[in-house]
Amino acid sequence: MKKLILLCLTITLLNCNSNAQKKEQKVYKVSKTDAEWKAQLSDMEYYVLRKAGTERPFSSSLNKNYKAGIYACAACDTPLFKSEHKFDSGTGWPSFDREIKGNVAYGSDNKLGYSRDEEHCATCGGHLGHVFNDGPRETTGKRHCINGVALKFIPKK
């Protein structure tokens, strides 16, 4: 009987490491090796976009940029946000009330001990920032809080 219990316990413990519990690595349309990303991006861009880092608040010139245009991914040029959806949240990061549909993907970030909705580029997987439910009530109520270094501004012609 002891051997049977030990066998069942062993099988149960081994099954806890099944493939169903392993996180799948998503393949993006634009995929590069770590070395290729490091060669293409500045140190800060690499830290934010590839390592899910965060730039210091109020450090991006895009935070107070009010020109008309498109904000694209700094890694792959995918259009992510329109200038008409940008607002000054006072947080120190460029903020938008909505994304360009289909170009931003979402996931969960639990690094701070609680769950936040993470945003990343749907084309290359680059980390952009997080989305919160404390944006302008008169529009979407969302605040897409984005690292300026993850963005490239393309002025309207």
Taking alpha carbons only, the member of 72, 57, 129 closest to residue 103 is: 72
What single DSSP character describes residue 11?
H
What's the pLDDT tens digit per position in 48-74? Answer: 999 999 999 999 999 999 999 999 999
Query: What letter represents residue 16's amino acid?
Result: C
- Which residues does the annotation mark as catalytic? 145
What's the pLDDT tens digit per position in 95-124? Answer: 999 999 999 998 877 676 656 789 999 999
Angle at 91 between CA 86 and CA 92, to 5 degrees: 80
User: What is the average per-residue pLDDT within 31-39?
Assistant: 95
Residue identified by tokens 């302008």 is 136
Q: What is the pTM of this model?
A: 0.80
